[in-house]
Amino acid sequence: MLNLPSRWKQWAYEKTVKPILLNLDPENAHLLAHRLLDVSSSLPFAFFAIENSMCFKSSRLETEVAGIRFSNPVGLAAGFDKTGELYPFLSRMGFGSIEIGTVTGQSQPGNPKPRIFRYPEDQALINRMGFNNPGADGVLDTVQRQNRIAVRGINVGKSKIVSEENAVEDYLYSIRKLIRFADYLVINISSPNTPGLRNFQRPENFNKLIGGIRNGLGGGFPVPTFVKFAPDMEERELRELLECLPESGLSGVVLTNTTVDKTVLKRYPNVESEGGVSGLPLRSRSTQLVRIAYQTLRGKLPIIGVGGIDSGEAALEKILAGADLIQLYTGYIYQGPFLPLRILEFLDKTLEKFGAKSVSEIVGKQSL
């Protein structure tokens, strides 16, 4: 399977493994995938086989963002590897970066099950996980035993039991514990599944939170630090927040998290009322916000685009709208492990077609 064309690898996956995973409860499917990866670590040459089947390398795809060198612009979004345990495996599966978390200061079980729901006709998920994770101390115990392979981002959020007034110290606890093991950080203030979290997207609360974290770290962020916003803001609200970024000390923005607007699920009149929607129905809205951010920031800070990316064409759409990097989550769950490979092959051919030597040359180039 190592030298097969990517379309054949995709076909083989869809005929064998994919039906099994999609017939399982979503969390059980994720646990099975976790165990399969874990078992592979004990098999001779497993990592070599994984890398050779799923990785695509090209000098055109190498990129530098916020002073970090990425082997390619396709990353795995937070939420897939909440604990950091999968990082050694996922780093060999074609991604240019792996973002672990969301990590909170205190361990928490998350919301009651069931808490993730598939809507396959719309290629979407609703999740109300609630930042289930072992807490900063638990994640520290995991990551400090790992070798650094691909770029590793660490996404941090607020513990559910911590009040908004004490959020700064809660974020700082996670950051201080984990900063040595992060190439970049993401401050998550946009999940719909932690009560009150999105209140930090109000400019006055945002400035107080980010300023408090920055001051608690000695007046600056030791590694490039991004902030992740929700897609449910008006354009005026987003621009107001974006205009705060250059003076905040932050290195960039991640757009977007999940949406609470369930009307985007066109084929499902009755859906879960709680939680956020991710996947294909989010694609247009997240791309629109990336475009607004690019126009507002005018190249001052980089943008990571995420939301509905399930193909090379969708990835290119985000980049042309202004995303310096992209991230996968729901598309990866539906399309499977060869999605990064297929996207990278498509992007490399696109760059070659337009005579571009790097992804950065086409960022924001809507006319291509």
The C-alpha atoms of residue 366 and residue 43 are separated, in whole angstroms, by 46
What is the C-alpha end-to-end distance of the chain, expressed in Å? 35
In contact, 240 and 207? CB cutoff 8 Å: no
Q: How many Cβ atoms sit within 10 Å of the Cβ of residue 300?
A: 10
Q: 128 among the known binding-site residues?
A: yes
Residue 368 belongs to some domain of the structure: no
Share of the chain above pLDDT 90, in %: 77
Q: Is 102 annotated as a binding residue?
A: yes
Q: Is 191 a catalytic residue?
A: yes
Does residue 367 form part of some domain?
no
Q: Is 78 annotated as a binding residue?
A: yes
Distance CA 252, CA 114 (A): 34
The model's confidence at residue 44, banded by pLDDT at 50, 70 and 90, is low
Phi, psi of 229 (to 5 degrees): -105, 160
Which candidate, 153, 162, 152, places its Cα nearest to that of 131? 162
Which tokens sit at 157?
A: 């959020």
Given this model, what pLDDT does residue 111 score? Answer: 92
Asked if residue 230 is part of any domain, the answer here is: yes
**80 assigned to a ligand binding site:** yes
Residue 195 lies in a domain: yes
H or E stretch covering 303: strand 303-306
Overall number of domains in the chain = 1
| The pLDDT of residue 206 | 96
Q: What is the largest CA-CA distance in the chain?
A: 55
Q: Judge whether 296 is annotated as a binding position.
A: no
Q: Which residues pair with 119 in a beta bridge?
A: 124
CATH assignment at residue 262 = 3.20.20.70
CB 167 within 8 Å of CB 195:
no
Residue 17: give the domain boundaries: 6-362
Please state whether beta strands 63-65 and 68-70 pair in parallel, antiparallel, or not at all (unpaired). antiparallel
Q: How many residues does the chain have?
A: 368
Q: Is 257 assigned to a binding site?
A: yes
Question: CA dihedral in degrees (34, 39, 44, 49; nearest 10)?
Answer: -30
pTM over cut 0.85: yes
Q: Is the pLDDT of residue 48 over 90?
A: no
Q: Which of 221, 226, 212 is nearest to 170 (CA)?
A: 212
Reported as half-sphere exposure (CB side, CA atoms, 13 A), residue 76 has a value of: 31
CA nearest to 80, candidates 356, 331, 349: 331
Average pLDDT over residues 116-136: 94
169 lies in a domain? yes
Whether the pLDDT of residue 2 is over 60: the answer is: no
The reply to whether 276 falls in a domain is: yes
3 marked as part of a ligand binding site: no
Q: Say which residue the tokens 């000098």 belong to.
A: 59
Task: Identify the H or E element spanning 295.
Answer: helix 283-297
107 contacts 138 by C-beta, under 8 angstroms: yes
Residue with tokens 């107080």: 208
Residue 225 annotated as binding?
Answer: no
Active-site residue, from 71, 174, 190, 191: 191
1 lies in some domain: no
Give the tens place of pLDDT for each residue, 189-203.
999 989 899 999 999
* Per-chain mean pLDDT for the chain: 91
